[in-house]
């Protein structure tokens, strides 16, 4: 795909905003703290009267207005002691890139993430000091057919998925000359944990937090350096409503649950959600495709939104990271040989741990860490540092309950929305179908050597 870059400029808040240091919560500073890309495609629209400069100028003007209430996105991160980050709200602005493609939208087929996306999604130069990196980069690409793509790359150290979608939807409302629906709530004290000087009675309970342990390695290996280097590929795999129902029936059939502390089983019937069911299916298929030994330990990372689980719930519009990472663990042999309900049960067990006390305990645990480096994934692909959820592990993120579709900047809704570049082994997303037919789409990245086998099991193992 030939893409010509026509310009790059900085868009700043259109009015003066508060300036100063914004303290980030501990939870903002662990896990993935690099930028996360998403992309939207729009067909040419009769409402696009006049040159494409009209679209470009409308987007930039409304973006400047959106950055007034969402002013943290116009700031910069900076390192402070203990590998911790602070947000400098300095109104330095966000980067807006204009590009032109020689291709037509139809040339992209089903819009599955591919190397071509590298030209459609802004690139972040991580060789620069972190205080020079914009927190948000936007790229508008015009295609030969008149359609456009709008891609956003946003810092995960500042927002999680719900907050990023909140910003984008409000930006679109402003572009349509509508008022904001929900103002961002910018005070992060609710997720900053207790004061270390407070009394013991006020401190959260000390709970076990396996999510802070290093993920399992392949048996026989002492590190994951070689696994990180292996070539990966991406697949977009659809499960129809009927296939999804078959999986749910299988997962929710009567099965036997074995606790970690007992060899005695309890027979019960599940009531598993789409996420628990599909994630369990992905986990089992990955173990088979990777040809694990039965005794291979494996972990599955789960993101749980803690907004409604806190006591009291976080304020509406809480703008920051409130998705909590927990880990489901098992052995490959157990996952493969036991019914699907076993895998779904392991995932549910991890999710159900996320309570108000559990979140506060985890934050308190992080506050007491002298250095957060080992909990942070801030390294480029190919690095041997930071957490790694590739083989023998997985991360499965759910977008099933997020309002990810229907982003209208005044010229109609997108024809496709999805993740941008997506090239880390083990990364996967579950998205609802855009046509509302009850199907779901799994966006999955695996090593090239394992993908064909995974696809075979993914469909053939549905009873």
**Catalytic residue set:** 156, 408
Distance separating alpha carbons of residues 426 and 331, to the nearest angstrom: 16
Cβ atoms within 10 Å of 357's Cβ, excluding its own? 13
Beta-carbon-side half-sphere exposure of residue 129 (alpha carbons within 13 Å): 5
Structure tokens at 334: 């157990």
Beta strands in 147-212 (DSSP E): 148-155
Dihedral sign for Cα atoms in the order 20, 23, 29, 35: negative
For every residue of 250-293, DSSP letters joined together read HHTSEEEEE-TT-S-EEEEE----HHHHHHHHHHHHHHHHTT--
Name the nearest CA neighbour of 281 among 256, 325, 250: 250
Residue 278 near residue 295, CB atoms below 8 Å: no
424 contacts 382 by C-beta, under 8 angstroms? no
Query: Residue 260 and residue 289: Cα distance in Å, rounded?
Result: 26
């Amino acid at each position: 795909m030939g893409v010509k870059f026509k310009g790059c400029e900085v868009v700043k808040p259109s009015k003066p905003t508060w300036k100063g240091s914004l303290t980030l919560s501990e939870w903002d500073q662990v896990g993935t703290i690099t930028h996360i890309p998403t992309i939207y495609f729009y067909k040419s629209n009769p409402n696009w009267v006049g040159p494409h400069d009209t679209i470009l100028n409308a987007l930039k003007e409304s973006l400047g207005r959106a950055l007034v209430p969402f002013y943290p996105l116009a700031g910069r991160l900076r390192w402070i002691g203990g590998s911790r980050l602070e947000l400098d709200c300095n109104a330095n602005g966000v980067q807006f890139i204009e590009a032109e493609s020689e291709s037509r939208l139809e040339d992209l087929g089903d819009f599955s993430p591919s190397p071509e996306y590298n030209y459609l999604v802004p690139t972040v130069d991580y060789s620069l000091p972190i205080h020079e990196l914009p927190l948000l980069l936007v790229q508008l690409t015009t295609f030969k057919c008149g359609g456009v793509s709008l891609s956003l790359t946003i810092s995960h150290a500042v927002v999680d998925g719900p907050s990023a979608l909140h910003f984008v939807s409000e930006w679109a409302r402003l572009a349509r000359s509508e008022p904001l629906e929900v103002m961002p709530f910018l005070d992060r004290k609710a997720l900053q944990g207790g004061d270390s000087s407070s009394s013991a009675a006020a401190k959260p309970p000390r709970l076990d937090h396996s999510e802070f342990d290093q993920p399992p390695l392949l048996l026989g290996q002492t590190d994951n350096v070689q696994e990180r280097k292996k070539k990966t590929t991406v697949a977009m795999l659809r499960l129809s409503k009927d296939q999804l129902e078959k999986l749910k029936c299988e997962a929710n059939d009567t099965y036997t649950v074995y606790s970690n502390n007992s060899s005695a089983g309890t027979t019960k019937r599940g009531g598993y959600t789409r996420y628990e069911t599909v994630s369990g299916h992905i986990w089992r298929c990955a173990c088979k495709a990777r040809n694990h030994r039965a005794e291979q330990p494996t972990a599955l990372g789960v993101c749980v939104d803690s907004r409604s689980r806190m006591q009291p719930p976080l304020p509406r519009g809480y703008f920051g990271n409130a998705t909590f990472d927990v880990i489901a663990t098992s052995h490959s042999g157990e996952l493969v040989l036991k019914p699907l309900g076993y895998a779904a049960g392991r995932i549910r067990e991890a999710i159900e741990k996320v309570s108000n006390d559990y979140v506060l305990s985890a934050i308190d645990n992080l506050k007491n860490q002298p250095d957060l480096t080992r909990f942070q994934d801030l390294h480029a692909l190919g690095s041997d540092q930071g957490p790694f959820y590739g083989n023998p592990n997985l991360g499965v993120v759910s977008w099933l309950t997020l309002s990810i579709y229907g982003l209208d900047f005044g010229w109609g809704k997108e024809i496709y929305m999805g993740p941008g570049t997506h090239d880390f082994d083990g990364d996967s997303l579950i998205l609802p179908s855009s046509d509302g037919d009850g199907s779901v789409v799994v966006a999955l990245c695996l090593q090239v050597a394992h993908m064909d086998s995974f696809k075979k099991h993914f469909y053939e193992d549905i009873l």
